[in-house]
Structure formats: structure tokens, C-alpha cells
Amino acid sequence: MPPVPDEAPQLIVIAGPNGSGKSTLTQFLLRQGYDFGHYINPDDIAASLNGSYADRVAQAQSIADFERERCVRDGIDFSFETVMSHPSKIEVMEGARARGFDVTLFFVSIADPSINVSRVRSRVLAGGHDVPADRIVARWYRRMEALALAVMAASRTVVFDNTDIPLGAVIASESGVRPAGDGGLMPVTEVLVTRESVELILGRTVPDWVVRYLVSPLQARLPSGTAGGRELSIRIEDG
């Protein structure tokens, strides 16, 4: 069972580009016992509404925005899934943390957006919703460029690479999320952010996209080892 703090309200964010595996990871973590509190998913909300697809999506986004604001205001445990298509999602994380929330970000991505395009096409063939290929590619780069900012808005971040590894073997333990056996979606990086420090914990194998869009930007943000009074440390796990 994942650790649950005694006092601070909890916000869990599942983020990543279209077709990266957010929904699958969400369902798996739920099965492993993570308490997501009030789960806010615009896709689920839209499915419960009437009207055209465009109208339902717009209305669902408004409802989701209202619910997120309500949970932050009232100190209610909650969670949401997002492609981080707008800076407002990071602002929700910052606002929640400023009000005493413990914010956990699970970020999952794939090494190349062309793979995301293929996976979304497969999802459509299985009856899922479509996203235009050019939008997927453009969003992939925007999401990657926003990753370091999102990490700094969270208390704890676990970054997963889902390029070519099945998800089924991921397990949750007292120390966090770890792969079961030799398979599973790999948690390749963890970041812990406090008022005093930023600790970057790297696995023995770190994908190029993680280095380019997370490790390097954090190092650039903290060129002298500090930023906003925080000290950056980097640790490489042996296991």
C-alpha cells in the first residue's frame, strides 16, 4: 500500500502526451491501492453529458475546472489526468501546494511522438477518441518543454518511460512505484522538491528524452546549485 501522509490533503496528477499510457497507469495505480480521492476526468464527465461532441468536451472542461478549484479551496483530496495542454494545470498544482497539499506527479511519456500517433490510431480502431496527428506531435513537444516546470510545482514526481515496455508488471511498494521482476513500465526518474532542496534520483538507465527535457533543464535552472534558496542534488540508484 502506498504511504499516505496523516494530515496534508493529497493531489495526485497523472500527466503525459496523448497516447503515452496515462489512463492505463491511472487504473493500475488504483488497483494497487493508491487513494485518488475525488477523481476528476473530463473524458468521463463528457461521456455522461448530452449534445454534440464539441459541446460535451467544452462543458466537461468547465465542470472539471470548477471541481479542481473547489477541491483546492476546501482542502479535499483529489486527482486528475491531463496532457498539460494549458499552463493552468501547473497553476492548479502550484495553488494546491501553496494551500498545504502534498502534490504527487506521475508523468509518463514515450521517446518519439510518432509512436504516440500510432498508439492513438490503435486506440481509435478499438473505439477510443481520436486526436489529429499534427496536434499530437505539437503537444508532445509542448508537454516536454513544460515538464521541468511541472516537476517544480510538485512535492514528488515519478517519471515513467513507456516507449516499448508493457505496463502490467508495475507494482507499488512502501518506497514508491517499482517494476515487478524483469518487466514492466519503468520508473526511470524520481524528483523530490522541498522548500530547501531539489533531489533528482536517476535510475541506472535514463532515456534520452528524460535527460533532454528534465535533467538538463533542471541543471540549467540551478546553475550554481541553488535557485530560490533550493539546493540541487543528483543521486544515481544502483538497483
pLDDT at position 48 is 94
Instruction: Provide the mean pLDDT of the chain.
Output: 81
1 located within any domain: no
2 located within any domain: no
Rounded to an integer, the average pLDDT of 116-126 is: 65
Domain count, the chain: 1
Domain region containing 68: 10-236
Angle formed by the axes of helices 133-153 and 113-125, to 10°?
110
The fraction of the chain above a pLDDT of 90, given in percent, is 43
Q: How confident is the model at residue 8 (pLDDT cuts 50, 70, 90)?
A: very high
* Beta strand 10-15 pairing with 38-40: unpaired
Which range has the worst mean pLDDT, 44-58, 76-90, 181-195? 181-195
163 located within any domain: yes
pLDDT at position 175 is 40
Rounded to an integer, the average pLDDT of 228-236 is: 81
CATH code, 34 = 3.40.50.300
How far is 199 from 95, CA to CA, in rounded Å?
22
Rounded to an integer, the average pLDDT of 71-87 is: 92
Q: Tell me whether residue 110 is exposed, middle or buried, using C-beta atoms within 10 angstroms of its C-beta: 0 to 12, 13 to 18, 19 or more.
A: buried
179 pLDDT more than 80:
no
Rounded to an integer, the average pLDDT of 75-83 is: 94
pLDDT at position 170 is 39
Q: How confident is the model at residue 196 (pLDDT cuts 50, 70, 90)?
A: confident
pLDDT at position 172 is 38
How far is 171 from 181, CA to CA, in rounded Å?
10
32 pLDDT more than 90:
no
How far is 85 from 221, CA to CA, in rounded Å?
22
The DSSP 8-state label assigned to residue 87 in this structure reads T
pLDDT, tens only, 61-78: 999 999 999 999 999 999
Which range has the worst mean pLDDT, 82-91, 122-131, 170-179, 204-213? 170-179
154 located within any domain: yes
158 located within any domain: yes
4 located within any domain: no
pTM (2 decimals)? Answer: 0.81
pLDDT at position 177 is 45
Rounded to an integer, the average pLDDT of 85-105 is: 94
Rounded to an integer, the average pLDDT of 151-169 is: 78
Q: φ, ψ for residue 165 (rounded to 5)?
A: -120, 130
58 pLDDT more than 70:
yes
**Alpha-carbon torsion 158, 16, 149, 226, what sign?**
positive
Which residue, 86, 94, 109, is CA-closest to 11? 94
200 located within any domain: yes
